[in-house]
Chains A and B, each alone.
Chain A
Amino acid sequence: MATDPKDNTTLQLLHFTLQMADNALINGHRLSEWCGHGPVLEQDIALSNIALDHIGQARSLYQYAASICNGINSENRQHLFASTSLNQKISKGEMIDEDDLAYLRDAWDFRNVLLVEQPNTDWAFTVARSFYFDSFNFLFLSVLQNSSDSTIAAIAEKSLKEVNYHLRWSSEWIIRLGDGTTESHQRIQDALNDRWCFTGELFQATDADVAMNAQGVGVDISMIKQQWLEQIQSVLNEATLSLPTGVWMQEGGKQTRHSEHLGYLLAEMQFMQRAYPHMQW
Chain B
Amino acid sequence: MVNEQDIYQALAAVSDPEVPVLSILDLGIVRQVSINENEVVITITPTYSGCPAMDVIATNIRMVLLSKGIKSIRIENQLSPAWTTDWMSFEGKKKLADYGIAPPTRKAKQSLGLFEEDMVPCPKCGSHNTEMTSAFGATACKSLYRCKSCLEPFEHFKCH
Contact = CB atoms under 8 A, between A and B. Distances in A.
Interface of A: 42-43, 45-46, 48-50, 52-57, 59-60, 150, 153-155, 157-159, 161-162, 164-165, 167-169, 171-172
A42 B144 contact: yes
A154 B80 contact: yes
B7 to A, nearest CB: 25
B158 to A, nearest CB: 8
Contacts of B80: 150, 153-154, 157-158
Interface stretch (B19-27, B32-40, B96-104, B132-140): B132-140
B51 A56 contact: yes
Contacts of A60: 49, 79
A150 B160 CA distance: 22
Contacts of B160: 161
Contact of B50 (A43, A45, A52): A52
A168 B136 contact: no
Give the interface SS of chain B, mostly helix, strand, loop or mixed.
loop
A120 B7 CA distance: 48
The CB with the most chain A CB atoms within 10 A, among B51, B52, B135, is that of B135
Interface in B112-126: 114-115
Contacts of B135: 46, 165, 168-169
Contact of A45 (B82, B111, B134): B134
A256 B120 CA distance: 47
Contacts of A157: 79-82
Contact of A159 (B49, B111, B137, B138): B49
Interface of B: 46, 48-52, 79-83, 111, 114-115, 133-138, 140, 144, 160
Nearest to A172: B115
Contacts of A50: 136
Contacts of B46: 56, 158
A203 B140 CA distance: 30
A158 B136 CA distance: 18
A219 to B, nearest CB: 18
A159 B82 CA distance: 9
A49 B49 contact: no
Contacts of B137: 45, 49
Contacts of B114: 167-168, 171
Contacts of B133: 42
Given A42-B134, A157-B81, A162 B115 contact: no
The CB with the most chain A CB atoms within 10 A, among B49, B52, B115, B135, is that of B49
24 contacts: A42-B136, A42-B144, A43-B134, A45-B134, A48-B136, A52-B52, A52-B140, A53-B48, A53-B140, A56-B46, A56-B51, A57-B49, A60-B79, A153-B80, A154-B79, A157-B82, A158-B49, A158-B79, A158-B83, A161-B82, A165-B135, A168-B135, A169-B135, A171-B115
A40 to B, nearest CB: 9
A45 B138 contact: yes
B153 to A, nearest CB: 11
A167 B111 CA distance: 14
Given A42-B144, A45-B136, A56 B49 contact: yes
A53 B50 contact: yes
